[in-house]
Structure 1
Amino acid sequence: MAIERMDNVGIVVDDLAAAVAFFTDLGMELEGEAQIEGDCADRMVGLEGVRSAIAMMRTPDGHGKLELTQFHAPAAITAGPTDPPPNTLGLHRVMFAVDDIDDTLTRLRPHGAELLGEVAQYEDIYRLCNLRGPSGIIVALAERID
């Protein structure tokens, strides 16, 4: 038995519409939205009374997906600092390959995106940066230098 593929990465957000707008302007496509609740959701998540809204976003090539989830009940909690630094243990960053970092940053700044450092160049291969997006998510961008 083997893994067939990685299906998606789930991210809990505090404002689903804002997160969808951010990732849409990044270049992802909204695949669908749904309201999730009931016994199956409670059993899967391990909480009682789950009511949430999800939005499934996919990359233009169709291979990468993010499942953005806003919990209405029980309310989402913050486990640590509101905006944890990049060296915090655990899953906290998603990286995207982009064709133009500067243009991408220009599109994302109106959504509150802020660089954590600066755009840096790795040898003659990549321009790279980390930025903070909706709900404190760290989003990394990589532009290949040709």
Structure 2
Amino acid sequence: MEIHKRISELNHIEDVEDLKDELTDRYGTLDVDLILYMYEKLYKKLAYKFGVQKTMVGAYTTTLMLSQEASQQLNGQSLFRKASAFDPKIDLKYERRHIYLTMNTQKTKAHWLYLFAKFLDEYFQEKVES
């Protein structure tokens, strides 16, 4: 029960890494499903904050569709700069008043949950620092 509470309190990628280290020290090697669960919880929290209305996961790409409201309120230049600099690169599209962020995950070993959680976390961190 304590682990679920700690997972629900994750707010940044660093929090996940710290909790993974702590749990590994305490229990040994962690199950991949537990690690994905931590990233999923963080992703859902950050995606909600970002205004993600829908997440579409394909074999080689993952696309986030932002709500119309979030699409109108985001700083497009900042988002474009961050998406272009991220590895793997994130393609942006604006269609029917929604912004779509598409990441090609074919050539990376990292799970899309980790990658998009990292992207969103970095986006919000940069926003705070500005």
**Please, what TM-score do these two structures have when normalized by structure 2?**
0.33
Higher helix share: 2
Higher strand share: 1
**Please, what TM-score do these two structures have when normalized by structure 1?**
0.31
